Structure 1
């Protein structure tokens, strides 16, 4: 029986579904699905068989379940519920030869992967699709490294990074997805993120967020209501703006508005 279940389909490339759930007694029978599942356990633990081999998903790790491979799932601690969050990504998200490797290595005990997965969920709940897309590109690269070993670093592509920055600067409020930028600039999203991060010391989603905070600050100081400034600057809502505004500037947009009036 499910105590709590929330599922939705965000507008993020490759991300087909998100599930947040807490189960007390439910046990998944053996089944398959056509997507990659990136599983995060928040509390409790899940025992599961993947391709008839036993594993345990713990809060300290991330579990990568490949498409088309039978698996089941149940609480690993009798009488104790488990809470989980799952990202379902389409089959093309990782290359086909990754499936066999993930059957052998479904447990990812890397703090950087866990942190990135949590950032995706936080961005999705906060309504920041661009941040979620950018973090998913990072997770993609980290998981490929986990399964295949590290790849040689690519040469810095400063001209490409500058073109991406210009693209972001031209669409601060409306935004642009990495998939759209990839088509416009003729480069893979992973290469875009790596090149931009090397050139400017931050990933593109953080750069765009800082530009939006700048825009919202100016609008608030000009007298626009905070809720209206949030929408005009490209934020999901006032709460989304406030979270990033405080993180960047150390104060809420309301405090800036009050200071301007005084």
Structure 2
């Protein structure tokens, strides 16, 4: 029987100290993440329980105290690997931020950082990442509470008690990850170059997310039969074309939601048949319905 202390709940939030990033504090027991990817580096710390996920063609288990990093654009899943589920803290760090930090550390321009597929077992690193995440969350809560007071004193106290300490903890955690485990994308892709035909099909799928497309359209664009075009695309990306396009629609829906557009409008503009269709896919990818994600 599942531990009743672990129930599905997730909080998404943002901080000006890590521009463009989404941060999550979550616990999952029943939820299963469908195959999906993120456009940022996914940097989680498992704080309790264990998560099972499929990544780069293999099954992995991330236990308490581990750091299962996922590279941008890499397909992965997620589900419980223990009866009680798992609790974790996640930073979705923008590519430009981590790339820039890698260059700052080296003192010169660096290739794009990349990480191996194995779960990182490094308790010191896990502590640094968790500590930074907690400080960021506490700072965010403090500023939101102060703004809610709507008084001069409250607005003044919206500034963190020690922003330098929070930023220092964040940079220390991410720098530790990069210096200990960072590789380069060029090395990671050395044995698996991109097929230009797949890139052509991706561009066609992404050009207009509301435009109706058939497999025959993709096949014609790359000079293959529909069967061979679908097989090539699926082997290269891990998803058939329609599923890959759904993931891209969900990624592009985040911006309008963040800007305050209604869920119904975003669903229609993103190419989903209706709001319930959009909500179902959104929850499978992000663990919460779009309305809750937006409100947080």
TM-score (norm 2): 0.45
Tell me, yes or no, if the aligned pair for 2:50 and 2:86 is still in contact at 8 Å.
Answer: yes
Match of 2:209 in 1: none
Q: 1:15 to 1:2 in 2, by over 3 A?
A: farther
The whole-number CA distance in structure 2 between the counterparts of 1:138 and 1:24 is: 31
Q: Secondary structure at the match of 2:21?
A: strand
Please report how far the alpha carbon of residue 29 of structure 1 lies from its aligned counterpart in structure 2 after TM superposition.
0.8
The whole-number CA distance in structure 2 between the counterparts of 1:33 and 1:2 is: 24
**Structure 2 unaligned residues grouped into runs of 5+:** 1-5, 100-110, 140-159, 184-296
Pairs within 5 Å for 1:78-117: 79-95=83-99, 97-99=112-114, 102-105=115-118, 107-117=119-129
Q: Secondary structure at the match of 1:80?
A: coil
Q: 1:2 to 1:68 in 2, by over 3 A?
A: farther
Match of 1:141 in 2: 175
Q: 1:66 to 1:22 in 2, by over 3 A?
A: same
Pairs within 5 Å for 1:99-178: 99=114, 102-105=115-118, 107-127=119-139, 128=160, 129-148=163-182
Please report how far the alpha carbon of residue 2 of structure 1 lies from its aligned counterpart in structure 2 after TM superposition.
6.0
Tell me, yes or no, if the aligned pair for 1:21 and 1:84 is still in contact at 8 Å.
Answer: yes
Match of 2:253 in 1: none
The whole-number CA distance in structure 2 between the counterparts of 1:148 and 1:112 is: 16
Range with bigger deviation, 50-59 or 31-40: 50-59
Q: Secondary structure at the match of 1:39?
A: strand
Tell me, yes or no, if the aligned pair for 2:40 and 2:94 is still in contact at 8 Å.
Answer: yes
Please report how far the alpha carbon of residue 116 of structure 1 lies from its aligned counterpart in structure 2 after TM superposition.
0.9
Q: Secondary structure at the match of 2:43?
A: strand
How many residues are matched?
145
The whole-number CA distance in structure 2 between the counterparts of 1:114 and 1:26 is: 24
More relative contact order, 1 or 2 (CA 8 Å, 6+ apart): 2
Match of 2:146 in 1: none
**What is the RMSD computed on CA atoms of the aligned residues?**
2.3
The whole-number CA distance in structure 2 between the counterparts of 1:24 and 1:69 is: 23
Please report how far the alpha carbon of residue 16 of structure 1 lies from its aligned counterpart in structure 2 after TM superposition.
0.9
TM-score (norm 1): 0.50
Pairs within 5 Å for 1:245-260: none
